[in-house]
């Protein structure tokens, strides 16, 4: 799409004439066969984009650029301060590696429509695995390398992969984490048993392979015949990405091929204001949606150089880590979570490390994954002297819902707001009955259907559960967030309206954590909720009522609870604090007042609910919250 429109004109066209708007965007994509219909509403609320079209996602990421003269341009910069490795991989090299690995998968019987689970650290082979699946028309499901065997097993049973791809280890700071025992444990727990596993042996640790099931990555690839691209329909599934659900059972967000390529390529030009050849760095993980969309796919669709960073914002080796990467690789756009900047600010409040580096290549900083607090926004703006852009989206949408679309028209920034809805997203604020609320009034943030291309068309093998998003208020997608529009039409997101919390940009279910805590032999009942945290945005904390007659120390029990959550969900849960209390505040009907407990934990004013069974319990909760470092100081 050309930049001959301002924001208002672009947004209006996207809502009033989506067929025309997205057809123009789709002209930027390489198709094997052009679509028959841009927006297919025949099965609503299951909308489909570009029906009848044929294409290949991997071709749009790699082959087309090699054919168009970008073969020797760097496609991927792998920067790993934890191993001391920096490697630049050209588009030609990526294409060779991906074609050969796709051939290896094909040799194991993987074909169009089969599923493959990818359980990998932040190494180039993770990108190769994902793109090889896309090349064959196989459906990849990346599981974050930090997840425990139980969580991995749940995803194996739902996705039913023909093959699992993993590595011998991951590296967290100075710690080498063996992946193979986690994988073996997951396969043992899972009901579905994959026929083959492929293991990339990293030099830091060699894994023992199970004879007959496990294959060495390099040996397998060496013998493979390179595979060519398999055309798929625009509506065929590209990937499954599991996200926390309020029941504790993960939801398999499904992405299709056609709309995904169109939307992500459009977003690079129109939201992030990048062009082919630019260096784009999304400092995230391939296990999260940001990693899928903006480490792997979108930068490669656009012909950019993408940075794959295996490290942290601080500690690898210091708070200047990000500035070093920007300076060394000429990064033009950085996209990360506010947590990263809060960590840098905590370690280096005067940004003295920044003075060592020339970051003149950097045009913009984009932040997302959690609410950007004004304090962090102002600090980042001051030290960088560049536009700091907050934007808001979800795993389900796959790309931004609200942003300052710098490639269309740069609008004035307002601290605390991700600016305005991105073209294609008809965002509204409504009450519980679906009635639209006036500007300034807080309510449910919803998106009028249809969602634009690139968003989830449904959940993996679970159309019924997808309907929960779109049938609560018919005709609208429920984001699960509350918020409001101000008088200028700027959107403000105020937080989740369910029990899914946002820990450093990772969505995690407190309901799932409660299920784990409640299994402890000494626990009678519990409540786990998200409390505000200066660094991570939110962290889970627990309030636990013990069974009668328990004589063990509270510290000992809490330590066990923390370990149980870590074992079943992983360290990513950040569940480290719990208080033992005599009782939980409840209504007379027996419902636990989690909202009130949360306000107490956050030190906020709260009204004693008229339905409460015993108001004195709230005083004890306040005291317990203070003991573990929360509540009013």
Strand partners, 90: 74
Residue 388 pLDDT level (bands cut at 50, 70, 90)? very high
Residue 260 structure tokens: 């995904």
Q: How far apart are CA 20 and CA 12, in angstroms?
A: 12
Q: Strands 333-336 and 402-403, how do they pair?
A: unpaired
Residue 610 pLDDT level (bands cut at 50, 70, 90)? low
What share of residues in the chain are helix, strand, coil (percent, to 5)?
35, 25, 40
Which range among 95-104, 444-453, 539-548 shows the weakest confidence by mean pLDDT?
539-548
Residue 79 has pLDDT above 60, yes or no: yes
Residue 576 structure tokens: 């480290």
- pLDDT tens profile 186-229: 999 999 999 999 999 999 999 999 999 999 999 999 999 999 99
Q: Strands 48-51 and 491-496, how do they pair?
A: unpaired
Residue 152 has pLDDT above 70, yes or no: yes
Residue 248 has pLDDT above 70, yes or no: no
For residue 611, what pLDDT is reported? 60
**CATH C-level class of 500-627:** alpha beta
For residue 68, what pLDDT is reported? 97
Distance of CA 142 to the CA centre of its chain: 11
Q: How far apart are CA 231 and CA 281, in angstroms?
A: 29
Q: How far apart are CA 426 and CA 433, in angstroms?
A: 18
For residue 116, what pLDDT is reported? 98
Backbone conformation region of residue 427, classed left if phi is above 0, alpha if psi is from -120 to 50, else beta = beta
CA angle 317, 305, 422 (to 5 degrees): 100
Average pLDDT for residues 140-155, to the nearest whole number? 90
Residue 1 pLDDT level (bands cut at 50, 70, 90)? very low
Q: How far apart are CA 539 and CA 370, in angstroms?
A: 12
Residue 586 pLDDT level (bands cut at 50, 70, 90)? confident
For residue 429, what pLDDT is reported? 97
Higher pLDDT, 4 or 149: 149
Strand partners, 503: 506, 537
Average pLDDT for residues 239-249, to the nearest whole number? 75
For residue 603, what pLDDT is reported? 92
Higher pLDDT, 595 or 234: 234
Residue 523 has pLDDT above 80, yes or no: yes
For residue 315, what pLDDT is reported? 92
Domain ranges for the chain, please list them. Answer: 7-311+391-478, 500-627
Neighbours of 136 (CB within 10 A): 25
For residue 253, what pLDDT is reported? 97
Average pLDDT for residues 55-66, to the nearest whole number? 98
Q: How far apart are CA 519 and CA 507, in angstroms?
A: 22
Q: Taking the model in full, what pTM does it have?
A: 0.87
Residue 351 has pLDDT above 80, yes or no: yes
Residue 245 pLDDT level (bands cut at 50, 70, 90)? low
For residue 633, what pLDDT is reported? 67
Q: What is the mean pLDDT of the chain?
A: 93
Residue 2 has pLDDT above 50, yes or no: no
Given the candidates 3.40.50.12780, 1.10.10.10, 3.40.640.10, 3.30.1330.10, the CATH classification of the domain at 7-311+391-478 is 3.40.50.12780
Q: How far apart are CA 62 and CA 302, in angstroms?
A: 10
Residue 554 pLDDT level (bands cut at 50, 70, 90)? very high
Among 95-104, 334-343, 467-476, the range of highest mean pLDDT: 95-104
Strand partners, 253: 241, 459
- pLDDT tens profile 265-275: 999 999 999 99
Residue 509 has pLDDT above 80, yes or no: no
Residue 500 pLDDT level (bands cut at 50, 70, 90)? confident
Average pLDDT for residues 45-70, to the nearest whole number? 98
Residue 39 structure tokens: 């927006």
Average pLDDT for residues 155-179, to the nearest whole number? 95
Q: How far apart are CA 149 and CA 578, in angstroms?
A: 24
Residue 498 has pLDDT above 90, yes or no: no
Q: How far apart are CA 108 and CA 344, in angstroms?
A: 45
Which range among 471-475, 493-497, 516-520, 604-608 shows the weakest confidence by mean pLDDT?
493-497
């Amino acid at each position: 799409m050309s930049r001959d429109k301002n924001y208002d004109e672009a947004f209006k066209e996207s809502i009033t004439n989506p067929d025309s708007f997205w057809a123009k965007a789709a002209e930027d994509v390489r198709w094997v066969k052009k679509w028959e219909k841009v927006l297919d509403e025949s099965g609503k609320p299951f909308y489909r984009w570009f029906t009848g079209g044929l294409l290949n996602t991997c071709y749009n990421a790699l082959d087309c650029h090699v054919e168009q003269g970008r073969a020797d341009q760097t496609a991927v910069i792998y920067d790993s301060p934890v191993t001391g490795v920096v490697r630049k991989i050209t588009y030609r090299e990526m294409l060779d590696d991906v074609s050969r690995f796709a051939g290896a998968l094909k040799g194991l019987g993987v074909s169009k429509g089969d599923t493959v689970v990818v359980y990998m650290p932040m190494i180039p082979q993770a990108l190769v695995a994902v793109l090889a699946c896309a090349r064959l028309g196989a459906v990849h499901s990346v599981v974050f390398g930090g997840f425990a065997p139980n969580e991995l097993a749940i995803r194996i049973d739902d996705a039913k992969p023909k093959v699992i791809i993993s590595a011998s280890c991951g590296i967290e700071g100075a710690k080498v984490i063996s992946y193979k025992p986690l994988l073996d444990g997951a396969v043992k727990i899972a009901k579905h048993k994959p026929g083959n596993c492929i293991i990339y042996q990293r030099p830091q640790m060699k894994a023992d392979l199970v004879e007959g099931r496990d294959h060495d990555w390099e040996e397998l690839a060496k013998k493979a015949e390179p595979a060519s691209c398999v055309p798929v329909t625009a509506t065929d599934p590209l990937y499954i990405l599991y996200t926390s659900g309020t029941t504790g059972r993960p939801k398999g967000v499904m992405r299709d091929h056609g709309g995904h390529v169109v939307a992500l390529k459009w977003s690079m030009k129109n939201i992030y204001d990048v062009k082919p050849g630019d260096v784009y760095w999304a400092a995230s993980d391939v296990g999260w949606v940001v990693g899928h969309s903006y480490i792997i796919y979108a930068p490669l669709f656009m012909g950019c150089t993408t940075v794959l960073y295996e490290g942290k914002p601080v500690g690898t080796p210091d708070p200047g880590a990000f500035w070093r990467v920007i300076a060394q690789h000429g990064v033009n756009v950085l996209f990360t979570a506010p947590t990263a900047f809060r960590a840098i600010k905590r370690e280096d409040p005067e940004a003295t490390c920044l003075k060592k580096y020339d970051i003149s290549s950097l045009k913009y900083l984009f932040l997302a994954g959690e609410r950007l607090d004004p304090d962090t926004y102002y600090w980042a703006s001051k030290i960088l002297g560049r536009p700091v852009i907050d934007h808001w989206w979800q795993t389900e949408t796959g790309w931004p819902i609200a942003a300052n679309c710098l490639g269309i028209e740069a609008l004035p920034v307002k601290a605390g707001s991700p600016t305005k809805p991105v073209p294609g997203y008809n965002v509204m604020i409504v009450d519980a009955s679906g009635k639209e609320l006036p500007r300034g009034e807080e309510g449910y943030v919803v998106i009028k259907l249809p969602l634009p291309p690139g968003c989830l068309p449904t959940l993996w093998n679970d159309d019924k559960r997808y309907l929960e998003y779109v049938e609560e208020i018919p005709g609208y997608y429920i984001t699960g967030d509350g918020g409001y529009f101000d008088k200028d039409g700027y959107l403000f997101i105020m937080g989740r309206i369910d029990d899914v919390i946002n820990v450093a940009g990772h969505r995690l279910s407190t309901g799932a954590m409660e299920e784990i805590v409640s299994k402890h032999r000494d626990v009678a009942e519990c409540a786990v909720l998200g409390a505000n945290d200066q660094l991570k945005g939110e962290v889970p904390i627990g309030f636990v009522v013990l069974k009668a007659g328990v004589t063990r120390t509270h510290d000992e029990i809490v330590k066990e609870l923390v370990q149980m959550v870590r074992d079943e969900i992983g360290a990513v849960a950040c569940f480290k604090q719990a208080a033992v209390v005599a009782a939980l505040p409840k209504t007379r009907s027996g419902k636990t007042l989690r909202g009130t407990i949360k306000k107490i934990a956050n030190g906020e004013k709260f009204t004693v609910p008229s339905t409460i069974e015993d108001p004195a319990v709230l005083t004890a909760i306040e005291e317990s919250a203070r003991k573990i470092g929360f509540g009013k100081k």
